[in-house]
Amino acid sequence: MLYAQIHLTLPVWVHDHVDTTRAYPGDEAKVALAIELSRLNIQAATGGPFGAAVFDAHDRIIAVGVNRVLPHTCSLAHAETMAYMLAQGRTQRPRLNQTLDGAACGPVTLATSSQPCCQCYGATVWAGIDRLLIGARAEDVESLTEFDEGPLPADWIGELERRGIRVVRDLHRDAACAVLRAYGEQGGAKY
């Protein structure tokens, strides 16, 4: 049998826990939402300890994502890639900060509970975002859980900034680490 389609979903609880009617002004509020998603994802046992959200120029949610690797047996289903794919589907823009005519429509922001792994780093280069907001660092992920973040360019922040993506780190880092720690203490990569 030849598979010819893919189908990825977020857990149904996102509809009860994500308020799409409000704005999330400021970097801290955006990352706080991403971390809350990561916490809810392990609490509900619907994936790994990672959450992300894409915001438009008015600080409103375009899409959210959580890790869905084990529920979907899909190594691509990380929080950041889920958020990008859902945002691109909703806006019908393969580069989120550009219309199909090439007109700028940003800034678009991705907030993520942990530093993007090498896969999500690559996805970030092409997703069309202007700002990347990060909670925990890669070394936090690797010390508190069994996840491997993979290889990144030595100057990974500089490579993003040269492509117009401003990076802000260590937002609510302690809160992000608390979720990673809780997951690690459960026995590692169960979801």
Residues that bind Zn ion (CB under 5 A): 78, 117, 119-120
Query: CB neighbours of 126 closer than 8 A, spacing ≥ 6?
Result: 95
In whole angstroms, the minimum distance from the beta carbon of 123 to Zn ion comes to 8
**Shorter beta-carbon distance to Zn ion: residue 108 or 141:** 141
Query: Which stretches of 57-130 are assigned E, i.e. beta strand?
Result: 61-66, 109-114
Could you check whether the bond before residue 107 is cis, i.e. omega within 30 degrees of 0?
Answer: yes
Nearest distance in Å: CB 7, Zn ion: 20
Name the residue among 30, 50, 28 with its Cα closest to residue 116. 50
Identify any residues that bridge with 65 across adjacent strands, giving them in sequence order: 52
Nearest approach, Cβ of residue 150 and Zn ion (Å): 8
CB of 120 to Zn ion, least distance (A): 3
